[in-house]
Chain A
Amino acid sequence: MSDQSNLKAVQIFLIDVLSSEILETTPGFNNHSNLFDAGLDSLGTMQLLVRIEQRFGIQIPAGKLTKENSSTIEQLSKLIADSSVTEAPLVRRPKQAPL
């Protein structure tokens, strides 16, 4: 998952999840908006990580997620694209189960 179309798909997914499920976004929210200024806190981050793992089956390696490299959707999508698929699936509940 490293080409441009995949990156675009990840970005569309992130915008959708963040604006519909996690944040109260305002018009103009885009790939370059600062997520922490938009209200993303540790609770929102956890929801986002679970959704990313459910959707793409990947884990961002521990310690790789920093405020400096994940403050926009553009940065976050690159981080996801660079992360490998998990060796063992960690999601042990039905995929559509509510969190």
Chain B
Amino acid sequence: MHADVFIIGGGSAGISAAISAARRGVSVVLVEKHRNLGGMASAAMVHSICGLYLLRENESAPLSFANEGFSKEFANVLINSGAARGPVRLGRLDVLMHKPSLFAEHSKRMIDEHPNIRLFLNTQLYKTHTKESRLSGVTISHGDELHTIECNAVIDATGDAEVFMLAGAGYDRSPLETLQRPAYIISLKGVDHELMCDNGRLLLAQAISRGVAAGQLPSGALGTAFRTGVSNDQVMVTIDLEAQGFDPNDTASRYKAELEGKETADEVFVFLKKEISGFQKASIQEHPTCLGVRESRRAHGIYQLTEKDILEGTRFDDEVGLAAWPVELRETARGPRFRYPAENRPYGIPLRSLTSKRVENLFVAGKCISTTHEAQASVRVIGTCLLTGEAAGIAASTLAKAGNS
């Protein structure tokens, strides 16, 4: 099998990369380990697209998309079909809320519109094949079968820099104790909508903090946050996990953290159903397929984006677009710590931070592009992943075409 562009990871970055490459006429193979596309936005039920809009001083200032490309197109597809609601103002930030299952459906539909994309779901990356300083191919594992695919260019959209790890292309990992905390997200139905207003959420915060203080809930319950979903009858519950010693690259550790998340979610739900009248008719609608992992390996690119770049709104000659999300540190399960750029300025994403330093036909897109730990706390959001996916798709298709000619 041959692919001009091989993309591993069918999350927001991989979807964006595949469509952008396919639109430039190259053949694409897209591989996703879960049964649905969408990655964190579907399997982990991360339900808000952040980083789509430029930061603004207050709600009365005009709102505009940070970029004109695929991220805006995809957001409009979700909005126009009722799969997304917003933009919604959360504190100083504007986000688009989406329904995870519909994010996956629309992604699949858009991928299926391109006959030059071959999609493999439930499929893992097994091996990379290197020839001199290039990747000549990859082997994937699908069911009981192994398939080797020759390719001209590779995009690592795994979120875990898996290709960089397997191909020896270099990566960084934050110490486990400073790694951004993972999240476990469930959806509820039947919650009294009044509880989702600002003061309703304060009431829930009070109830949970009392439950913890009284020993009725585990301390992990203090990581719980509530938001209305796309429809008013759906409530999304996000629990930032303490998950001590959590290692996103260790299967047993992920499983342990998932279990911690599920147990905490169930305990919080039972407690609120007993204590809060607006929860009496509530039920759990859905648990996630996997944990929401905010940070994992970070690929070694030609340029490493830093926190200084973000806070100063640095622009680059080779930038592929603008990122507009503050540094959102979640190193503890006690809530985010935001660091905003001067004058709410956006910063540029240089193509060099999507390009491998060591392997000449390898690109990276999504939350594991070349950054420091702090900068990753800004670039990881879905809006920016859509942007870096699109840029990697264009760059890889250009390289692949040159290779074909």
Contact = CB atoms under 8 A, between A and B. Distances in A.
Interface of A: 21-24, 36-37, 39-47, 49-50, 53-54, 59-60, 62-63, 65-68, 70, 90-93, 99
A41 B334 contact: no
B2 interface: no
A42 B225 contact: yes
A90 B334 contact: no
B224 to A, nearest CB: 7
Given A36-B91, A99-B222, A70 B202 contact: yes
Given A47-B334, A66-B202, A67-B199, 8 more contacts: A37-B91, A37-B92, A43-B224, A49-B205, A49-B209, A65-B202, A66-B198, A99-B222
Nearest to A49: B209
Contacts of A93: 215
A47 B335 contact: yes
A53 B211 CA distance: 12
Interface string B223-265: 1111000000000000010000000000000000000000000
Contacts of A36: 91
B213 A53 contact: yes
Most buried by A among B91, B201, B240: B91
B209 A46 contact: yes
A22 B338 contact: no
B329 interface: yes
A36 B213 CA distance: 24
Interface of B: 91-92, 198-199, 201-210, 212-215, 219, 222-226, 240, 329, 333-339
B212 A62 contact: no
Contacts of A49: 205-206, 209-210
A62 B277 CA distance: 13
B215 A22 contact: no
A41 B204 CA distance: 12
B223 A90 contact: no
A45 B205 contact: yes
A45 B223 CA distance: 11
A22 B208 CA distance: 17
A42 B204 contact: yes
A59 B207 CA distance: 11
A65 B203 contact: yes
B212 A50 contact: yes
A47 B332 CA distance: 12
5 contacts: A42-B202, A42-B205, A43-B336, A53-B209, A68-B199
